[in-house]
Amino acid sequence: MAVGGAPNTPPNGPAPSQIQTAPNLVAFDPKQVVPSQQIYLQRNDQIAFNILTNGTSIAMRINYRWLTPDGEIKEGELDIPFISGSAFATLGIYEGWLLSFAARVTSGAPLGQWTFLQALITRTPNPNQQSPMHALFWSGFVYSFTANGWPGLPAKEIADGAGVLRSITGTTPVAGVDISEIVPAQRRWILLAFKATLTTSATVANRTPVLQLVDGANGFFRGGATLLQAASSTQGYSAMNQLPQTTAPLFDIVLSCPLPVSLKTGLRIQTSTNAIQAGDQWSAPQYTVLEWGTWDS
């Protein structure tokens, strides 16, 4: 019975969890022994994570450890769901030394997907790309179900490495319109291969497709086919570095292109078909690229 005669009753809700760890046998005096990584966070400091990915609805988990001014090592976990394109996330430890963090993508990652992470220190409550940052202490690629983080592998720039090899199915245009594929925002490509098919209507005319690279307003490359395509026919086209064909091909007609070629955000891969008719249909555009992210648009 409690004082005053009221019975002792347990609080509402589930029973408290049992502590699974024993107290430390060694106590640190932070004034005398501090971590070798000198990342000390004050009460108004936050760790900001700047994330860029070519995926959609990406889920990321970040586990971290820190040393308090009282010499206690604590750990935490930050779950960041539904990342598409770019995102910012923050965590605060109130005060102490950051000891480590490990990040991994916890959602399924299809082939060709990548996620890049920067770890920074800021004092902005809700930071974005334009917010002031006081330190960048790690950056690198975060993999699916395999952790990467700090301290660990050396920090990398987003364009470091061999790039991600992607085979992309392009957009089929409406009849009578040429193909036009654009490099997405915050991407950088090296175009390795391009293939598409043109089916011509019964309207009598010889079509001559051209493959062109355009910066949005101005074309900086035009490579054509030396063979004509007649009406009422279906013909595949492939871009490659090759001498012009002089006889009818058994397979695709070659479209001249200086492969591999580097392309940045906003540049376009297009066809321009001489004598295209309203009933002509380009289909099945497929291209292979090496892809990197870029913070610049």
Task: Note the pLDDT of residue 247.
Answer: 67
Q: What stretch(es) of the chain map to CATH 2.60.120?
A: 164-293
Classify 40-150 by CATH class: mainly beta
List pLDDT tens digits, range 84-94. Answer: 988 999 998 88
Question: Which one, of 213, 212, 187, lies nearest residue 274 by Cα?
Answer: 212
Contact 252, 195 (CB under 8 A): yes
Contact 83, 160 (CB under 8 A): no
* Gap between the Cα atoms of 100 and 149, Å rounded: 8
Note the residue count of the chain.
297
Q: Which two tokens stand for residue 146?
A: 């395999």
Task: Note the pLDDT of residue 8.
Answer: 47
* Gap between the Cα atoms of 25 and 47, Å rounded: 30
- The sheet with strand 180-182 has its strands ordered as 180-182, 268-274, 208-214, 219-224
* Gap between the Cα atoms of 271 and 173, Å rounded: 11
Which 3 state secondary structure label does DSSP give 170?
coil
Contact 295, 158 (CB under 8 A): yes
What's CA 287's distance to the chain center, in Å? Answer: 18
Quote the percentage of the chain above a pLDDT of 70.
84
**Structure confidence at residue 37 as a pLDDT band (50, 70, 90):** low
List pLDDT tens digits, range 162-213. Answer: 788 999 999 999 999 999 999 998 889 999 999 999 999 999 999 999 999 9
Q: 164-293 in CATH: which number?
A: 2.60.120
**Structure confidence at residue 1 as a pLDDT band (50, 70, 90):** very low
Q: Return all residues near 249 (Cβ < 8 A) that are at least 6 apart.
A: 227
Q: Mean pLDDT in the chain?
A: 84
Task: Note the pLDDT of residue 23.
Answer: 60
Q: What is the pTM of this model?
A: 0.68
List pLDDT tens digits, range 210-226. Answer: 999 999 788 999 998 87
List pLDDT tens digits, range 40-90. Answer: 898 889 999 999 998 888 999 999 999 888 888 899 999 998 899 889 999
Who wins on pLDDT, 14 or 141?
Answer: 141
Question: Which one, of 156, 153, 159, 152, lies nearest residue 136 by Cα?
Answer: 156
Indicate the burial class of 132 (C-beta count within 10 angstroms; 0-12, 13-18, 19 or more): exposed
**Start-to-end CA span in the chain (Å):** 70
List pLDDT tens digits, range 108-159. Answer: 767 778 899 999 999 987 877 777 888 889 998 887 777 889 988 777 777 7
Task: Note the pLDDT of residue 29.
Answer: 66
Who wins on pLDDT, 70 or 236?
Answer: 236
Q: How far is CA 236 from CA 41, 90, 204, 211, 258, in A?
A: 60, 50, 19, 13, 19
**Structure confidence at residue 233 as a pLDDT band (50, 70, 90):** very high
Q: What stretch(es) of the chain map to CATH 2.60.60?
A: 40-150
Question: Which one, of 119, 114, 66, 63, lies nearest residue 90 by Cα?
Answer: 119
Task: Note the pLDDT of residue 15.
Answer: 52
Residue type, 53: T
Task: Note the pLDDT of residue 162.
Answer: 78
